[in-house]
Each structure stands twice: as structure tokens, then as C-alpha cells.
Structure 1
Amino acid sequence: MNPTSAPAGRWTRFRDSYLLYSFKRDVIAQLSLVAFILLLGVAVLAPWLSPTDPYDLTTIDIMASELPPFWIAGSDEAYVLGTDAQGRDLLSTILYGARVSLIIGFGAVALQATLGVCFGLLAGYLGGRVDAFLMRLADIQLSFSTLMVAIVVGALVKAIFGGDTFGAYAVPLLVVIIGLAEWPQYARTVRASVLAEKAKEYVDAARVMGLSSRRIMFRHILPNTLSPIFVISTVQVANAIISEAALSFLGLGMPETQPSLGSLIKSGFDYLQSGSWWITLIPGAVLVMLVLVINLLGDWLRDVLNPRLYKG
């Protein structure tokens, strides 16, 4: 057998798939994907694309604070988008801030998906008391908002380890907070899919063959529940980024010394009335664009992966 035949076969199936066919016919999906790749690319390459390093105190000039963008009188050509109240280059802080927001968004969704998929598989496949316990646990979790979880965890961390500890480990703590607050979305969806799949003949055949429950769940049932997981993940990435921005704006997330899109919006909010609107509005526009393109891709993916909407 030619070792290149398998990759070639997969490429042929992808080229002829309805997924690619739909993508080629959807201009909004194409533009959203291009915009997302650009935003993701500049965020990943922030250390190389940024004019300055906002974490390097030697590059900060407090005398150059609140300088306007290049198209406004009184600007400095060294700062394309102006500076914030601390004298940091706003373009650099946005690039680094987008990077932090994306890390938190993807990290939180990875934790949500891991917990939700495992609990959903166990609840749907085993049923009985396991199902009842895990679904009641999900109901309890859903009764607490992300903000409430953040307040409790933040207060505990600051009380036990001190306020500086939360700032030093803000990124992993926010990943855990948002991840723990949102896993029931996955668990309920996966459970519903498992309940439908485990009644099919291929699952009965796997049981007759003596396969273990773990193998049946993860090797046979899970691949058939991936479509809704992909759709939820795109929406949840956007929700996680918004949650981080909201928590940072309320002072429960990233500190101002570690720029994220949320902390940048918060840092400039007090300067809106003084005329330095760009400190808040430009990072806010980047946040809106990032969340918008992710949601548009999620809507397109939901429509494509929903067989009821397939028209042939």
C-alpha cells in the first residue's frame, strides 16, 4: 500500500466535502476567517511586531502619556495609535493584550471541553446515579455566574496567598475560573448526543466484542459527537474572551501592569471625559472585532454541521 494514499484520500474527501463547498460560497465566513487569522497572527507575533515591550519599564516615558493617534493634531509619529495614561505605546499594548486574551480564551475552553466532555460521556453512557449526580452538579454550577465564581476564587486567593499572588498568576487563575464556570454547556450537549448514540447497533456490537466501557466511550461514541463540540467551542472562545474582559474591567481579572484587552479598556475608562478616548475605544474596537469574527465563524460552522439545514 502506498503510504501517501491515505493522506491523498483524506485530502480528496476534504476537497469534495460539503464543508469546503459551503465555505467557498459564504463570503462572510471567508472574510471572518481571514480577519481571525490576521488577529491571531499579530497576537502570536506580538514580541516581534510590537514597536516596544509594554512589560519593559525602560521603554515607558510618563512624559509621553495620553498622546493621541497619528491622525490627530499633537500626535507623535513614534506612537501610531498614541499612548495610554502610563506612557506605554498603545499599539504594543493592544498586540500583547490580544495575545493574553486569546491565551485565556483558548485555555479556558480547553478546560471546559475536557471537563464537560468527560462528565457528559460518563453521564450519558453510564446513566443511573452517575447521570443524576453529574447533572445535578451541572445544575448547581449553572446557578453560579462566572462573575460570582471569580469573586469567590479571587477573594480566597488574595486571603490565603496575598493580593500580589493573584496578579502574578492572573492568566492561569482566569483560565481555571472561566473554565470551571462554563463546563456544564459541554456536559449537557455531549450527554444528549451520547444518549442518542449508545442506542445504535455499533455500540451493541462493541459490547458483544467485549470492548471496555472506556474504549467504547472514547474511541467509538466520542468521534460521533464532535460536531456539536466544535460548534460550542467557537462560541465559548468568544464568551471566554468577553468574560475575561468583563472581569478585568471590574478589577477581578488582569492587572493594568499585565495588559489584556479588558484591562486596557478599564485603564482608559477614567480618561474618556478628559478627551483621551483612544485609550479605551481602540482596544474596545479590537475586542469587538475579535469576538465578532469568532461568532460569525461559529454561526457558519453551526449551519454547516447541522444536517437538517443541508439542502444538497
Structure 2
Amino acid sequence: MASTGQAAEAFFLETESGSRFCLHHPPHSSAEPVGAVIYVHPFAEEMNKSRRMAAMQSRALAKQGYAVLQMDLFGCGDSAGDFADARWDSWKDDLHRAQHWLMMRSEAPISLWGLRLGALLALDFARDARSEIDNIVLWQPVFNGAQYLNQFFRLLLANDMITGAEQKGGGTQDIRQMLLAGQSVEIAGYEIAPELAAAIDKLDAAAWEAPASSLHWLESTGQANAALSPARKKIADAWEQKGARLSVGMVSGPAFWTTQDNMVAPEWISATGAIFQGP
């Protein structure tokens, strides 16, 4: 009979800036984990829309013998703090805490798995991680922070127009001017501090040195035999020229981080399981 494994452990990790909600999925085998994985969740509402998929993928990896740690970053989900007080560096500090927590429990190699802006955070964290990161799995990664913020502002402004909600300013440039003036901007219930926006704006992973970790980039596609767009392929080519150990996989299925319901996209789980199963 197949093992049903251990139940996930929910707990609060105490820090000097309040508690962080964590969910630890121990490996289903009784032996030491073959590896440990830190999930780096996406930004704002994309985090909530992805919760079901994150939980399903975490359980699937636990069945493969991995310990998986999901952490709500500062100001997000059930962790302490307000989103308005969130800062990019504080999120990186949270990942250091997650890394330390796992290292205290096992000597297994630690990998990162990031979704959307969480993928960019994972890449940035890996640049100053206090120990080697084994694999970095990127689900539909964001590579340029400024471009992402522009898209985020446009999508939420469009939603405000549909719902009739009061808008802050007339467009993305007005929002940026408010942020540059030191004002926080609230859109669709998320108050974004100027410091957070400024930090994200400066991020451009395509220009960074290739990390020593193995990179596994999974890209969403709606059709068979699809390839990376020219702009995305340019990033992949630039990384490979810098010596990155990069694999790119195309994944069909819904873009679950954008849907109203918490959708299931098993193709992502299968593709990620194959990565962690190894050659």
C-alpha cells in the first residue's frame, strides 16, 4: 500500500517584525528528504489566485521525497504586517529565514520555486543567499520589474473602471508620479509604498550574471509546439551566453494566477515533478 505521508504542519515563525505564517510539507518517506524547496509566492492578488495550485504542487513534491516550505511573506496572506509596509529587502530577509529554518532540520540541498514576481524575487535572493541554492524553478517568471509594475497598474486600473471604483490618478504615469512624490498608492485594496515600487522598478534579471544554480523556466502556452516569444527568447539566449545552466519548458493549461477561481492546472505539476525527479 502506498504511503499517505505526513500531514502538512502549519505554524507561525516568530521574527523581530512579527510572525510569518508557514506551511511545511514533510517528505512522505520516513527517510531524510532528498531535497528541500522554498515556495516564493507571487505579488498581491496573484498570490490568492494561486493558493490551490501552490498547495497541490507542494503535496506532489512531498510525495517525491522533498520537504517543501510555503511562507507568507511580510504583509502578505496570514503573516504579520500590512502590505503597505512591505519592502523588497524585507521579503528577501523572509526567504533567508525560510532557508535557515530548513537548514536547521536537514542537510538536504535547498531549491527555490517562484511564481511570477516571486520568480524574480527568487532570482534576486539567490544572488545573495547565504548558502548554495541547488535548483531555481521559475513559473511564468517576471524578469523586468518596471514592465511588471506597468502591467499591474494597467490591469488594476482597468478593473477599477469596470467596477466603478474610484481611481487614483488617470493612468500609469499619474500613479508613478504619485509614487515619485513619496505617496503610497492604493489600487484594488493593495497599498503600494513608494519604497517597494522603487525597488521593483530597478530589477532586471536579464542583465544579471547567471546564477550557479540550475535554472528551470516553465512558460505558459495555449497551443501545441509553441516556442518562447522573441522577447523572452532573447532573455534565455542572454542567460545561456553568460553560462547559465538553463532549461526551458512550455506548459499548456490555464494561466491560473489570473483567473477568478482557484483553478487547477495539472500540466504545471507534472512538468515540475519531472524537473525534481531528475534525469
TM-score normalised to structure 1 length: 0.22
Structure ranking higher in strand proportion:
2
Q: Which structure has more RCO (C-alpha within 8 Å, separation ≥ 6)? A: 1
Structure ranking higher in helix proportion:
1
